[in-house]
Amino acid sequence: MRLPIRLRLTLVFTLSMALLLAVAGWFLYTRLAAESLRTIDAALLSEADAVAAGLGQQGAAFGGSEPGTARGLASVAQVLGPGGTVQESSQVAAAVPLVPARLLPHVRGPTYLDRVLHGIPGTTRMVVVPQESGQPRTWVVVGTSLQGRRDMLSELLALLLIGGPVTLAAASAVGWAVAGAALRPVERMRREAAAISVSDRGRRLPVPATRDEIARLGGTLNAMLSRLEAAFDRERRFVDDASHELRTPLALLKAELDLAQSRSRTERELRAAVRSASEETDRLTALAEALLVYSRIEGGRIPVHREHARVDEILRDACASLAPRAAAAGVQVRVDSGAVTAAVDPLRVRQVIENIVNNALAHTPRGGRVRASVAQRDGTVRLTVDDTGSGFDPDFIGRAFEPFARGSAGVPDTGQGSGLGLAIVQAIARAHGGHATAENLPQSGARVTVTFRAAP
């Protein structure tokens, strides 16, 4: 089980503070210990120089009779001659050499030693300074107790061991409070998000006025809610429109079947009823296929399998398949195109052509003409379909490629009446990196233009 974010932040902050306090305490302790020892060493060396300067002057260097009175610092002082003999000594040291005679020949410069001496508390820090001038050769030894330094460091360590945990506890409490204050807007947004439902689609998360990461998160979530609301509205309209489109052919189909079995029918009447039911079934099948294609488009899963194809041949084949309908409507369909080869999806391109030409046939009166052409330029395939019909309603052109779009006269965008033909055209064009446009011609009629980006 994962810990709450507030607790995790506090733990991380506490561990970081503990590490920081430990490093700072260690640095302070070691630094103070080194600096205090350096100060003592410098003072001892200065005291040794003073003792050396007073050699030969009785009492000049050892005027005090109490420990620690030699020059106000040294606890002990001696002047050693050849063989380690004591020539002069403070009262504490008496006649016992502070440094063994075997070490004196190896002393070439000021040398520091730590020893435990009788009569001096703690460890004694000593400096041995050889005197090169004069004969016989002598060594000045000056020392002082480190007990004061040890007591100071012990007090500092006690303060660190006591004050560190207290400081850490206080910092942890502050970290807990700060983490809670920082996460409070997140908790408010969580509660508000839990309260939002489908019936409260206009409701949004509270965004703090801090302009920080949490405010940006709230703004992003609100923008996501707006997109979800728009998508929900589109899906609801799509379902409503699809239900409306399905209701009419289903009602007609049921009426034909009910009428056929309501009383005894002749063979001719039964054939007519079956033929009508078959036509409505075809309409339902076409509508179901259109809905399936458009649902895949809405989900971003429309398949586009490009291959090298003769787009002009696809155009001629598609128009030829619609020739029976064009003949029944009394409309002439003409194809004007040279050879155009491009990497496109042949099935989707054919679907685009059939949808546009079907739409043109539905709006072109008997005796009219539909012209289809395709051209290629600068890696773009341009498909154009013109008709001599009444053209698009001015208010309809801006939404001609929306699903289930209809003009003011209530005529859908395709002959099958699904209202999805041009919407599918636009989606397939975009899947090929292009787009579709609709416009009215200056004289009469309409024009639909589709461009495809012909991939290499």
Domain shared by 294 and 336, yes or no: no
Domain shared by 324 and 291, yes or no: no
Residue 166 inside a domain? The answer is no
**pLDDT on residue 412:** 43
364-422 confidence digits (pLDDT tens): 999 999 999 999 988 899 999 999 988 888 877 887 887 776 654 444 444 344 567 78
**pLDDT on residue 149:** 92
Domain shared by 271 and 333, yes or no: no
Mean pLDDT across the stretch 32-44?
A: 94
224-245 confidence digits (pLDDT tens): 888 888 877 877 777 776 776 6
Domain shared by 234 and 355, yes or no: no
Residue 413 inside a domain? The answer is yes
* Residue numbers of the domain that contains 245: 213-298
Domain shared by 324 and 271, yes or no: no
Residue 180 inside a domain? The answer is no
Residue 183 inside a domain? The answer is no
Residue 190 inside a domain? The answer is no
Mean pLDDT across the stretch 287-303?
A: 67
The confidence band for 85, taking pLDDT boundaries of 50, 70 and 90, is: confident
Domain shared by 30 and 99, yes or no: yes
Domain shared by 326 and 446, yes or no: yes
Domain shared by 226 and 337, yes or no: no
Residue 170 inside a domain? The answer is no
Residue 347 inside a domain? The answer is yes
Residue 245 inside a domain? The answer is yes
Rounded to whole angstroms, how far apart are CA atoms 294 and 423? 8
143-193 confidence digits (pLDDT tens): 999 999 999 999 999 999 999 999 999 999 999 999 888 888 888 888 888
Domain shared by 129 and 13, yes or no: yes
Query: Which of residues 275, 298, 321 is at a domain's end?
Result: 298
* Residue 445: closest CA among 371, 375, 390, 374: 390
Q: Contact 7/164 with Cβ under 8 angstroms?
A: no
CATH of the domain at 395: 3.30.565.10
The total domain count for the chain is 3
CATH of the domain at 14: 3.30.450.20
Domain shared by 349 and 396, yes or no: yes
Domain shared by 341 and 429, yes or no: yes
**pLDDT on residue 125:** 92
Residue 444 amino acid letter: S
2-25 confidence digits (pLDDT tens): 788 888 889 999 999 999 999 999
Burial of residue 391, with CB atoms counted within 10 A of its CB: 0-12 exposed, 13-18 middle, 19 or more buried: buried
Q: Contact 182/214 with Cβ under 8 angstroms?
A: yes
**pLDDT on residue 165:** 93
The confidence band for 39, taking pLDDT boundaries of 50, 70 and 90, is: very high
pLDDT, averaged across the chain? 82
Query: Can you tell me whether residue 310 is helix, strand or coil?
Result: strand
Question: What percent of the chain is modeled with pLDDT above 90?
Answer: 31
**pLDDT on residue 61:** 47
Domain shared by 288 and 312, yes or no: no
338-351 confidence digits (pLDDT tens): 889 999 999 889 98
